[in-house]
Structure formats: structure tokens, C-alpha cells
Structure 1
Amino acid sequence: MTEHWPTELRISTDRKTLNIVYDDGAGFSLPAEMLRVLSPSAEVQGHGPGQKVTVPGKRDVMILSVSPQGNYAVRIGFDDLHDSGIYTWRYLRELGETGDRLFAAYEAELAEKGLSRDR
């Protein structure tokens, strides 16, 4: 994949969406819930194979902050106090391009485990 850099990064006024535009014109609106439950943090992804955690109850989560991490990523802080994920430009683009499929897989995991987006 060719590296593309963001030219714009903006939190929506309701704090439920992160909007990102890349230098090739591609733009994505990434829901806070998706960013939270697919966080690249070890708390969500685990420390090794098979340790990924399915995070329920984040339908109404909001973005509190977006802080630069060098010139390659941002750290996103959420109102549930999760803020340990470092979202690279590449990962944010991946979420923009394949987020629907990844989120559908997350919803299937919730159902399989008897969990809900609301609790």
C-alpha cells in the first residue's frame, strides 16, 4: 500500500465521528464506536495471538481528544477514559476502507458471545 498522509483531521461537533482526508483526496468519516472497539491498543488487541478482547457497550462513546504522536499517528482519547491506542495514518485509512467489514465482524463476535453494543 502506498503511504498517504492526512491533510485534514477533524472531530465532529457531536464528538461521535473522526473525519479524515488524505493527500490523494480519499476521505473517511470514522465512527467513535468503531475506533474504540477496534482500537490498536494492547488492551483491546491483546499481547499475542488469540488475546483480542471483544469490547461491548460502546455505542454511545465519544471522542474527547486527538493528540499527535510524532508525524505518523494520533492517540485518541474517549469519554470512557480509554486513551492508549496509537492510530497510525495507515490504520485509520484501513478503517476507512474496510471498516464496514471489520465492524460487521465485531457485531458477529458480540452476538456469538451474548454481548451488546449497548452494555
Structure 2
Amino acid sequence: MAIEHDKAWPEQLRVSADRRTLNVRFADGRSCELEAELLRVRSPSAEVQGHSPDQRVTVAGKADVTISNVLPVGNYAVRLVFDDGHDTGIFTWKFLSETGETKDEVWAGYIAELAEKGLSRTA
């Protein structure tokens, strides 16, 4: 059965005690752990994604970033505030659902992109 990410609805969002992971449990029984670093470097904000694919920025040096706050945005998303000051990404339920399902591929793509550009996860 295909997952309908557009209809993904979280029952619970919880930041881990060390603030490095967002734990999401969806109403359909799925759950995922999304690392703060991954969410920060793939933030859906214009600052990271740009206004077109060729404007997307590779964000390096965020291995130690943590989530400072989770703020509701209507009934469709949250705004994550990171300890490096980034706070403009609106993380929709669809985004969280898709990222949870494709996390391994997203991580691999990020690591490859860093290597290609001579960048590092650490500062």
C-alpha cells in the first residue's frame, strides 16, 4: 500500500532530551526519528532551498546543531527553531512524512554533496 504523504497526520512530535532528534509518530502507525542536523540542512526554507533548484544551498558544519523550539503553524506544519539561529523553515506534515520514509537516501545524497563540494559536517 502506498503512503499518502499529503494525508500524513502526526499524533505526536517530541524532541529528544539531548535536542538532537525529532521523534514523529503518525496517525497511520508509522513513526520516525529525524536528526536535527538532517532537518537543518534540508530545511524547506528559502534560505536553504532558494527560490529554484539551482539556488539551493549546501549547508555544512551542522553536525552539532540542536532543536531549540517547535512552534505550531496552523494545523499543517511546525516551525523548527535551531540553536544556530535558523528559524524560517516551515516543516509540513507531508515534508516530515516523506523525509522519514526516504531518510537513508536523503542522508546519502547530503554526504555525497558535501564530499563533492569539499565540505564537512563539522565546522
Structure 1 runs (4+) deviating above 4 angstroms are none
More helix by share: 2
Residue number among 83, 87, 94 corresponding to 1:79 in the alignment:
83
**Is the partner of 1:83 in helix, strand or coil?**
coil
Deviates more, 1:99-108 or 1:69-78: 99-108
**Is the partner of 2:11 in helix, strand or coil?**
strand
Return the offset for 1:57: 0.1
Instruction: Name the structure 1 match of 2:20.
Output: 16
Identity of aligned residues (%): 61
Instruction: Name the structure 1 match of 2:69.
Output: 65
Cα distance in structure 2, aligned partners of 1:37 and 1:49: 15
Q: Root-mean-square deviation (CA), in Å?
A: 0.8
1:109 aligned partner, one-letter code: E
Return the offset for 1:48: 1.3
Matched, 1:30 2:48: no
CA deviations on 1:26-64 (whole Å, 9 max, x unpaired) are 000000000000000000001113111000000000000
Cα distance in structure 1, aligned partners of 2:73 and 2:12: 16
Instruction: Name the structure 2 match of 1:92.
Output: 96
Matched, 1:113 2:110: no
Return the offset for 1:100: 1.1
Number of aligned residue pairs: 119
Structure 1: state its 5+ residue gaps: none
Residue number among 42, 49, 54 corresponding to 2:58 in the alignment:
54
TM-score for both structures, normalised by structure 2: 0.94
Cα distance in structure 2, aligned partners of 1:87 and 1:8: 14
TM-score for both structures, normalised by structure 1: 0.98
Cα distance in structure 2, aligned partners of 1:73 and 1:29: 17
